[in-house]
A = this chain, B = another copy of it.
Amino acid sequence: MQKKRATIKDVASLAGVSTATVSHVVNGSKPVKQTVHDRVIAAARQLDYQADRAASQLRSGQTRVVAILVPDLDDAFFTSLVSRLEVMAGKDGFDVIVASSRDDPAVEQSRLRALLGWRPAGMVVVPCTDSLPTVLIEECGRTPVVLADRVVPAGAPADTVTIDNAEAGEIAARHLVAMGHRDVVIAASNLAIAPIRERERGAHDFLRGATGRAPVTIELGSNSITGAERFAHWQERHARPTAVLALTNVTTLAVLSALAQARVDIPEQVSVIGFDDYAWMSARKTALTAIRQPLDLMAQSVWDRLTARMGGETGAPVAISLTASLQVRDSVLGLPAIGGGDVATPGSDPLNPGESKSAIH
């Protein structure tokens, strides 16, 4: 242990001024003569002075902290979001404190309380379930909050940033039927989660409308390993569909694992559409066609909303809905049309005409 940390008093006495003056030069809150200013700076540097945020925050009531709560810090989607937010926050002079709820409402609640103890200037929350904890709802009146991803925007107590999940599901379904698929299974993580339910509905409805038969939906959970097991198990006792549509990045992983394990070829034996767009998806022989969420735009929107609110904007919650897009690559096989319905051939996707395969992004 070295000498104790320098306080503002130490700096003040070394520079021969009052603590108030030190504070003013450090924060630029009042003009200070050049000579004094320099003297203070020198003293601060010499003592390696760093203001204590706790004290500063206590006195001023202003905190430059934003708290981020996500369901899982091992999920690439959430960490990508956190990563982008952390960069933007850092640039705007905010520090970030993170916590994960591990998809457990009880943990969510307790972490939330802990975060609130910091009196953050703002928070962004990706809830782990449809029903927001009451702690959070109450907090929305006091602290700027932005809800992201797993939210039902209607009636939310705060600004929300989501994608149009039903549309996302439909886009994928549309591509599948355009490519001639009638027999598809939908791999969802957990239908209790509203956005997943929406994606499923979008895909399901379109598929049923276009093919006349309802697709099968299976739930694989939020863990890729157990998800793979469940999918493998399902696979053993059902006829193989021509395509599977995964509604989540971890379900994508789960079905890909199970398929690889069972040595079924993509797209020859079964077509696959994945969710989210990560580097590993194009790092494979047959690159994965996937639904891509506009991650950068989402993060940007979240940050915009949050800064607006932290800047004092009041008024009814605004709901931002972004649209997902289909990243067409090689994992969906064009099936010969069997009669009835639209004729579809590989490469003739009405959605992305002339672009059945795109470069690695």
Contact = CB atoms under 8 A, between A and B. Distances in A.
Interface of A: 1-2, 5, 48, 50-55, 57-58, 63, 72-74, 76, 79-80, 82-83, 86-87, 90, 95-100, 102, 107, 111, 113-119, 138, 141-142, 224-225, 228, 253, 256-257, 260-261, 263, 265-266, 278-280, 282-285, 287, 314, 360-361
A50 B142 contact: no
A53 B50 contact: no
Nearest to A113: B50
Contacts of A74: 79-80, 83
Contacts of A55: 54, 58
Contact of A52 (B58, B79, B96, B228): B58
Contact of A257 (B83, B253, B283): B283
17 contacts: A1-B141, A50-B113, A50-B117, A53-B118, A54-B58, A54-B63, A58-B58, A73-B83, A86-B100, A90-B100, A95-B114, A96-B98, A97-B97, A225-B279, A256-B283, A256-B284, A261-B360
A50 to B, nearest CB: 5
Copies of this subunit: 2
A282 B263 contact: no
Contact of A117 (B51, B97, B102): B51
A115 B87 contact: no
Central interface residue in A118, A265, A361, by most chain B CB within 10 Å:
A118
A2 B140 CA distance: 9
Given A141-B2, A360-B261, A83 B100 contact: yes
B285 A257 contact: no
Nearest to A4: B142
Nearest to A78: B79
Contacts of A117: 50-53
A118 B54 contact: yes
Contacts of A263: 285
Contacts of A111: 90
Contact of A253 (B53, B73, B141, B283): B283
A96 B83 CA distance: 15
Contact of A87 (B50, B51, B100, B256): B100
Contacts of A228: 283, 360
A160 B78 CA distance: 28
Contacts of A314: 1
A318 B284 CA distance: 42
B99 A99 contact: no
Given A5-B119, A95-B99, A266-B285, 7 more contacts: A52-B58, A52-B119, A54-B63, A82-B98, A95-B118, A253-B283, A278-B280
Contacts of A95: 97, 99, 114-115, 118
A240 to B, nearest CB: 16
A360 B227 CA distance: 12
A187 B256 CA distance: 26
Contacts of A282: 257, 260
A47 to B, nearest CB: 12
Contacts of A253: 279-280, 283
Contacts of A5: 119, 142
A80 B100 CA distance: 12
A86 B99 contact: yes
B285 A119 contact: no
